[in-house]
A and B are shown apart, each in its own frame.
Chain A
Amino acid sequence: MTTDILDALAKPPPPPSELDELMSRDPLDLAKDPTAIDKIIAYQRQVRAQREAAPKGRGKRTDLIEHDNAKPIDLAALGLVKPATAPKPATPTGGGFRRL
């Protein structure tokens, strides 16, 4: 059962790792393997090195086209230029408020 309102929005937890498997062993069993503690430490250091080596930030958004700043922005191509139209005469007592 979850108790946090954010839980519903969160990504699912990552699957159990080799580190978790090592950490779940009974201490008596772990003691039989003299290298087990070293494996835990080495695993975490390896994970840390991988995370540090991973690219920082969100990376390049390939679905966007980079704009060449040397060229002017084509507003018409973006659909931002509207044809000029003559203003309609204002109706003095129409449905809106009237400025006094």
Chain B
Amino acid sequence: MNITIAQHLTEQEVRSPFLTGTSIQFAWDSTSLGLLKTCPRLYQYTMIDGWGQRDESIHLRFGIEYHSALQDYAVARASGTAHEAAIRETVRLLHARVYDWLPDRNSRAGKYKNRETIVGIVIDYLDHFIDDPAETFILDDGRPAVELSFRFELPWGPQAPTKSLEQLEDGTPWAQPYLLSGHLDRVVNFADSLYVMDRKTSLSTLSGYYFNQWSPNNQMTLYTLAGKIMLNSPIKGVIIDAAQVLLEKPNAFQRGFTYRTDDQLDEWLIDLRYWLHNAETYAVNNYWPQNDTACDKFGGCKFREVCSRSPQVREQYLKASFDKLEDSEKWNPLRAR
């Protein structure tokens, strides 16, 4: 399958991921694709309508600060700075970003994720992996392979409503091909093999049950594929670099491996054609059906209370429990980090 690497991500203006004047999404990342695969209605409420929840911003902010801090440390170390000095610089930058961050500590999210716990887990992580056996891959230009944004085109694009999936094979030139985008936290060399490393912060125990969720997994398969394409190197899979935020016990860190073969990547791309075709069909018909077998997954869908109501009153429940985001605030796979 031919895949083209799109232009480097330097553009200032963020494009809409949807074809102009439609709800047909042409630019996808693991988040939006995961929403679609989980439940088209969940995808509609989040990506199309832009309903968001207050608590989400706490988790999102915590994740962003965690990734930024570890990136700061990696950049400092790559430039030859010693461990202690690199931690000091990392904490200084982190402090400047979060000193006025005041999430509601009476909420579960804010109790575990705030300026105090973020600096704590960053320091603990960096001390824990002071002699990290996973070495950051160094790019050809000398930069460490951390926080790499990727974007590549697929050899087909949205064609609804005029063509069937079989007709998509006829070589039609696409005015706008599909794009896949995302961010790789880190690419590492571990035991003479290359892996994408994906960092996760969690409130859950880092058990075998936690790590089993990553295979099969939409995000990790996409990241393996993206790593292979962007680095043009054999990537074995993804190392899940998980951190558990704890308040009374020491923060916990565990790593798990998830592997992907070339055949698995090909299968994922074949499946993707069907998923994106479905997404087009939903958009053209302006209807995204419920997957009512997914409502109890991952601790229960945040829209479960809404979807359990009669259709006529759902809008009221959405307005009562969620904030409707402006277009510029909605999740956008084309927005660079």
Contact = CB atoms under 8 A, between A and B. Distances in A.
Interface of A: 1-4, 6-7, 10, 12-14, 16-17, 19-20, 23-27, 30, 37-38, 40-41, 44-45, 47-48, 51-52, 54
A29 to B, nearest CB: 10
B250 A19 contact: no
Interface string B274-306: 000000000000000000000000000000000
B115 A37 contact: no
Interface stretch (B39-47, B98-106, B217-225): B98-106
Contact of A44 (B95, B96, B115, B119): B119
Contacts of A44: 119-120, 123-124
Contacts of B109: 4
B15 interface: no
Interface stretch (B85-93, B134-142, B264-272): B85-93
B68 interface: no
B107 A51 contact: no
A52 B108 CA distance: 24
B99 A25 contact: yes
The binding surface of chain B is classed by DSSP as: helix
B116 interface: yes
B107 A20 contact: no
Nearest to A17: B116
A51 B250 contact: yes
A69 to B, nearest CB: 31
B327 interface: no
Given A10-B108, A47-B120, 14 more contacts: A1-B104, A2-B108, A3-B53, A13-B105, A14-B247, A20-B115, A26-B99, A30-B95, A40-B119, A44-B123, A45-B123, A48-B123, A48-B124, A48-B127
Most chain B C-beta atoms within 10 Å of own C-beta, residue among A13, A17, A25, A37: A13
A56 B91 CA distance: 29
B163 interface: no
B116 A19 contact: yes
B49 interface: no
